[in-house]
Structure 1
Amino acid sequence: MGAEAGKEFGTRNVLQSGFVVNERASSAVADAVDAEPPRQELGAAELRTLYRTEAQAKRRKEARPGLWIAVVIYVLFSVSDLLLIPDVAALTITARFAVGLTALLVLEAQLRRGAATDWLDVTCAAAIIFGYIGWLCPASMGANKESVAYYMVFGTIFMMSANLFFTFRFKVSIITSTIILCILYVVNYFLPATLIYKMVFGTFYVSCFTFTSYVNWKLNEERYNVFLNALEAKIQHKEATERGKALLRLSRTDPLTGLENRRAIDEKLRDYWNDWQKLGHGFAAILIDVDFFKKFNDCYGHQEGDRCLIQVADALSDLIKQHDGSIGRYGGEEFIVLARMDKKGEVADLAEAICRTIENLAIAHELRRDGISIVTASVGAAFTRKQTAAKLEKIIHEADRALYLAKASGRNCARLFDPTDPQSSDESENLAALLKIAIGQDLVSLVYQPIQDVASGGFEAVEALMRLKMLDGTLVPPSLFIPVAERTGAILELGRWAIRTVCAELLAQDHVRVVSVNVSPIQLKTPGFATSVATILGETGVTGNRLAFEITEGLEMEMHSDILRCISDLKLLGIRIWLDDFGTGFAGLSWLRLIDFDTVKIDRSFLHDCGTPKGMAMLQDIIALVRNRGHKILVEGVETEEQMVLMRQFGIDKVQGFHVGRPAPAANFQTKRAIQKRPFTVLKSA
């Protein structure tokens, strides 16, 4: 029976399963999910061992209730003793109570001591045998031998008890039933009865034994089959559970780095937020952006880029584990960290540690243009604080604004969101809303600062400068609203408006010869910018050589093909390209090499430092460098006659500053002839 059942189980291919997910390679994970889980077949001997182990547990569990029920029924049959053998009923009843109580006490003692299951089976089987013997001996002493002879038939009940009340192994059940059968035959042999009686009841006893043995065999076989089916169902359930867990991990895991993906992080963010709202457990949200990662990919290839992200992810993961936080990949080269903390100092320290951890990896990045030759990251952090109308998305938005400031501050640094800082606080949100309506509400305007030709002293050009006022008329400094305009994209519409206004106010009526307009790198990166400028020139009837676009060097001014192509298209329109604030950024020399600028504007700080020999030498070196490249030179910040004399001595082409003229509205320049007669007197008074 065991071999056949084992063969049946083998044909069912009941197996153990394994499921391994490679959390780093998405293809491996997908293959593991799509493929059938590998199975390892269990042999008949292994199945038998497993079945016996499980059967022992079941027999152990059922031994106590089985014996208690059997003893109770055994004792209740005392009523039949009183009716059928009243003369010895006292003895049989005493025997019943003695055997039953002894069996229960022995079993309870064994259970308390943790006896083996086989010994519990022996105790229960012995209770059946001695229960029959203990009742049989006093019962056979009864005076009415005929009643006793018929009463002996009840012995078959003890034969069947092995299957009624217990789940013995087949061997134990057969041995128990056989002992009862032998006792019945011995009693049947010695009873004073006819041969026919003995033959009939002897046949009856054998029939009962055969029937109970067959039933016992079938029950054991059925138990084994139930075990096999349950085992198969359990394994299938385990496979389905593991497959579900693997799919869940896949849906929540970034396939490249093995970190949590945006979906998983968003779920954790909600959990953190709920704990903050309900329990007051503060937390920090930290955004991490790998600096100049596009250039890294362009330089080393996408495979090395992937390796770089994996190294960064592993290093950050080790760091964040120390703070019991969560880290995930938020997209591209951006990561996010969530950590429970509510002290400003702790958040700042963690943000700075993140910066230094990535820097200490020392991953080579030779194509950077900021003087650093390794991979670094910019970090923006925000933390929970008491505020009105707080929303879940707000803390991420604040971290993003802090990250923007970190990039604007030179990258490879960490910035913590400060609600009192107008660059990052809610005030910038008010400015963003104001910029959306600025043009329509006439809140934005232009003023113009004159530029003088040093050699002739004539009026060379003007620079258009944007001004913004609030609804109550309060002026907003450009240092506040320009970064917000760039961050929100409002600079695109403002830039087009500025170019159109310059053409309409001054150039179309030939009030001035050239107007320079500051152009953001974001505008140069925008597809179709040169086309939109050409459209404005066509609509206003202004030729391109009347416009100059000032481009400020800096970290945001990356030398990729889109910007270079846009500058080339603008020069084809005749527009002059000036490099603004030369010397303050990081890309000046590279831009001088790549682009043929019409004019290079040297930042005012170099002129103001001329009071020292070192500062004077620095200015002369910069002038010599630019002059050797063949560009015209414009120096900003000329505020005194002494500085003007110095510019003449150095042979500077153009100057700009309060000594030349202060910014003034367009009306001051719209009478060209009057301005030419007194070019700067009117402007200074303005």
Structure 2
Amino acid sequence: MTQTMADPIDSDLQGPIERPSPALLQTLYRKDSEEMQRVGIRQGLWAAVLVYLLFSITDILLIPDAALPAIAVRFTVGIGTLIMVELQYRENAPAARMDLTCAVALVLAYVGWLFAAITTRHTETISYYLVFGAIFMMSANLFFSFRFQFSILVSGVMLLASLSVLFYLFPYNRIYQLSFGIFHVSCFIFTSYVNWKLNRERYNVFLNALEAKMQHKEATERGKALLKLSRTDPLTGLENRRAVDERLRDHWGAWQQQGRRFAVLLIDVDFFKRYNDCYGHQEGDRCLILVAAALSKTIEAHDASIGRYGGEEFIVITSLDKQEEVADFADEIRSTIEKLALRHDQRRDGMQIVTVSIGAAFTRHQTGAKLEKIIHEADRALYLAKASGRNCAKLFDPNDPQSSDESENIAALLKIAIEKDLVSLVYQPIQNVKTGRVEALEALMRLNMLDGTSVPPSLFIPVAERTGAILELGRWAIRTVCREYLSNDHTRIVSVNVSPIQLKAPGFATSVAAILGETGIAGNRLAFEITEGLEMEMHSDVLRCISDLKLLGIKIWLDDFGTGFAGLSWLRLIDFDTVKIDRSFLHDCSSPRGEAMLQDIVSLLRNRGPKILVEGVEVEDQMELIRELGIDQVQGFHVGRPARVESIRAEAPVRQRQLPIQKSA
């Protein structure tokens, strides 16, 4: 099973609560109650010393002859102990040391007073006065919070001192010894029990408080873990879209209120669907985990955050606000993934490793600015990066017509283009080199703005592909060709450019069959030109669609051969009827090297069997070279410029005399 970066969060939620051992509990208890004990010792000592000194009055009343030494002992021990404990408290001495000081002081206070008091001549009075000795034992357990064993020791010493005095002063009075001895022992037992009970209750209170703290901590930690889990992508451990959206809102708020600019980078793993299909979903998950880890490490030094924004798409938010800095940052990210060297054999674009395409956008002052705008701009920049060959980064440029707001106006225009008759077709002739006759036409789409201004195909076709409008426009183009031209037998074959988006769309071949049936046109009078571009991924859906189209009799042409990386693979997989060599190879023939390149391409294609068509023929010298190379067909301004259907129809009788029409059965 693939281990994910989010596993620690799951373990936080599922792990048992760790309970401290009894020994550790005792340590925690002493540590937790340390300051409280120090304060309690100080307060208890002040109360005990005050009571101890007040008994000086009873010394004067009951044993006046021994009062002076007894009172001297009281003040010496009492004041001395207060001074020592105050010094210890201010020096943050541990509670155990302060307890020891108080315990020694208690014993000294009792024994010192006792030896001073028994020097009195009032024997009978002292026999009753000794009753108050029990107060000293009680004070060890009531005025102070001694631990039970320590309390037993201290009060036990004072008990022995009391019993010794009883037997020393009154050796023959058994009744007195018995009664007062039982009284002192009873006080010892009673106060010891009270001390044990109080210590036990204090410990239980501590345990309850500790349990409450642990439960609160556990609830807090689980709450944090749940919150983190709800904001974490379960596969990569990065922030998920929910967390990213919150972070984006925070950055947007800082930008609106404080002017703190930021940039958004959308990162897409190139050809990831093919990676998944080839290596399996488990390897696909591993690929995403490795990419996520590399991205996380890369952004650490750039004051940036990262999240997973979609299936194979990541998003980085950074406070960088200079175009050069973001460009360098984006290229560093791209280079980092490239250096991972994750094998990807199914790309068919000249690369054999996993790479990423990156689109970036900045915050900028504009009318009606919204948070969604910067994401949309980054997405448009990403589209341009993918259209530019992938494994590159593009920054959104509002002045670039391919990514600017003008493309959004075109996107809106395309939605109403068919309804408002803003889209039309022109036809460019294709000539047979040997006969000199025009034997086919290529249908080219044109678009006008509402004011009649024309929009270049290089601008509106990418927008149509990006927005999906190409699907409806493509069906309209095929239907229009069949209705306005093929149905009137103006030419034998008309070719129509077909976008990879259309070939990937479910039901495209079925919709073409419906149009052919609706217009009564045979499929062999229609040709579809497929551009050899990077968007043309050779997955099963595309190959199946092409196979279905060929079953309908439709000719399949490979357009712009030589401009991409997939041409040879397409020639191996698909039996093309015609291959169009890109105009750039013909125009490079002014040099011997360029001419040799064109000859090599022609030789390669001739061995494969399809007809060869060279486009971009503009002058007679180029036409002569075409004849020398034995090219089958040509297209270009030298043969004929794209024209409206009306102009083509005017020339139809001449073409009909030149080339008979093959009617459908």
User: What value does the CA root-mean-square deviation take over the aligned residues?
Assistant: 3.6
Alignment of 1:210 onto 2:189: yes
Alignment of 1:392 onto 2:347: no
Segment of structure 1 superposing worse, 164-173 or 325-334 = 325-334
Q: Does the residue aligned with 2:590 lie in a helix, a strand or coil? A: coil
Whether the 8 Å CA contact 2:613–2:633 is kept in 1: the answer is yes
Shift of 1:482: 0.8
Shift of 1:478: 1.0
Alignment of 1:622 onto 2:601: yes
Q: Name the counterpart of 1:156.
A: 134
Relative to 1, partners in 2 of residues 1:117 and 1:665: Cα closer, same or farther, differing over 3 Å?
same
Shift of 1:227: 4.3
Q: Does the residue aligned with 1:610 lie in a helix, a strand or coil? A: helix
TM-score by length of 2: 0.87
Whether the 8 Å CA contact 1:604–1:637 is kept in 2: the answer is yes
Whether the 8 Å CA contact 2:359–2:396 is kept in 1: the answer is yes
Q: Does the residue aligned with 1:508 lie in a helix, a strand or coil? A: helix
Relative to 1, partners in 2 of residues 1:30 and 1:249: Cα closer, same or farther, differing over 3 Å?
closer
Alignment of 1:362 onto 2:341: yes
Q: Does the residue aligned with 1:536 lie in a helix, a strand or coil? A: helix
What code does the residue aligned with 1:297 have? N
Q: Does the residue aligned with 1:123 lie in a helix, a strand or coil? A: helix
CA deviations on 1:192-247 (whole Å, 9 max, x unpaired) are 99986665544433322221111112223333444445555555555555555554
Picking from 71, 83, 89, the partner of 1:111 is: 89
Relative to 1, partners in 2 of residues 1:93 and 1:448: Cα closer, same or farther, differing over 3 Å?
farther
Q: Does the residue aligned with 1:309 lie in a helix, a strand or coil? A: helix
CA deviations on 1:249-270 (whole Å, 9 max, x unpaired) are 4444444444333334333333
Whether the 8 Å CA contact 1:63–1:166 is kept in 2: the answer is yes
Shift of 1:434: 1.8
Segment of structure 1 superposing worse, 537-546 or 250-259 = 250-259
Output the CA distance in 2 between the equivalents of 1:133 and 1:578. Answer: 118
Shift of 1:407: 0.9
Whether the 8 Å CA contact 1:283–1:342 is kept in 2: the answer is yes
CA deviations on 1:390-439 (whole Å, 9 max, x unpaired) are 33333222222211111111111111122221212222222222222222
Alignment of 1:64 onto 2:42: yes
Q: Does the residue aligned with 1:381 lie in a helix, a strand or coil? A: strand
What code does the residue aligned with 1:329 have? R
What code does the residue aligned with 2:635 have? Q
Picking from 258, 270, 284, the partner of 1:291 is: 270
Shift of 1:343: 1.4
Q: Residues 183-582 of structure 1 correspond to what in structure 2 (within 5 A)?
A: 183-185=161-163, 190=169, 200-235=179-214, 239-582=218-561
Q: Name the counterpart of 2:570.
A: 591
Whether the 8 Å CA contact 1:512–1:672 is kept in 2: the answer is no
Whether the 8 Å CA contact 2:2–2:286 is kept in 1: the answer is no
Alignment of 1:175 onto 2:156: no
Segment of structure 1 superposing worse, 71-80 or 321-330 = 71-80
TM-score by length of 1: 0.85
Relative to 1, partners in 2 of residues 1:57 and 1:24: Cα closer, same or farther, differing over 3 Å?
farther
Whether the 8 Å CA contact 1:24–1:257 is kept in 2: the answer is no
Q: Does the residue aligned with 1:548 lie in a helix, a strand or coil? A: strand
Whether the 8 Å CA contact 1:582–1:600 is kept in 2: the answer is yes
Shift of 1:348: 0.5
Whether the 8 Å CA contact 1:23–1:29 is kept in 2: the answer is no
Output the CA distance in 2 between the equivalents of 1:421 and 1:92. Answer: 103
Relative to 1, partners in 2 of residues 1:149 and 1:439: Cα closer, same or farther, differing over 3 Å?
farther
What code does the residue aligned with 1:217 have? W
Output the CA distance in 1 between the equivalents of 2:204 and 2:87. Answer: 33
Shift of 1:96: 5.6
Q: Does the residue aligned with 2:485 lie in a helix, a strand or coil? A: helix
Whether the 8 Å CA contact 2:5–2:237 is kept in 1: the answer is no
Q: Name the counterpart of 1:101.
A: 79
Q: Residues 656-667 of structure 1 correspond to what in structure 2 (within 5 A)?
A: 656-667=635-646
Whether the 8 Å CA contact 2:6–2:233 is kept in 1: the answer is no
Gaps of 5+ in 1: 1-21, 680-686
Q: Name the counterpart of 1:610.
A: 589
Shift of 1:89: 8.7
Gaps of 5+ in 2: 659-665
Whether the 8 Å CA contact 1:37–1:239 is kept in 2: the answer is no
CA deviations on 1:506-538 (whole Å, 9 max, x unpaired) are 222333332211110000000100111111122
Whether the 8 Å CA contact 2:270–2:356 is kept in 1: the answer is yes
- State the identity %: 68
Output the CA distance in 2 between the equivalents of 1:41 and 1:96. Answer: 46
What code does the residue aligned with 1:104 have? L
Q: Does the residue aligned with 1:448 lie in a helix, a strand or coil? A: strand
Whether the 8 Å CA contact 1:59–1:168 is kept in 2: the answer is no
Alignment of 1:123 onto 2:101: yes
Q: Does the residue aligned with 1:287 lie in a helix, a strand or coil? A: strand
Relative to 1, partners in 2 of residues 1:262 and 1:360: Cα closer, same or farther, differing over 3 Å?
same
CA deviations on 1:519-566 (whole Å, 9 max, x unpaired) are 100000001001111111222222222221111011101111111111
Q: Name the counterpart of 1:7.
A: none
Shift of 1:126: 3.4
CA deviations on 1:45-97 (whole Å, 9 max, x unpaired) are 55555555555555334322332343455556778789989999999877666
What code does the residue aligned with 2:154 have? T
Q: Name the counterpart of 1:6.
A: none
What code does the residue aligned with 1:295 have? R
Whether the 8 Å CA contact 1:511–1:672 is kept in 2: the answer is no
Output the CA distance in 1 between the equivalents of 2:95 and 2:486. Answer: 105
Output the CA distance in 1 between the equivalents of 2:482 and 2:576. Answer: 22
Output the CA distance in 2 between the equivalents of 1:109 and 1:518. Answer: 96
Count of aligned residue pairs for this structure pair:
657
What code does the residue aligned with 1:328 have? G
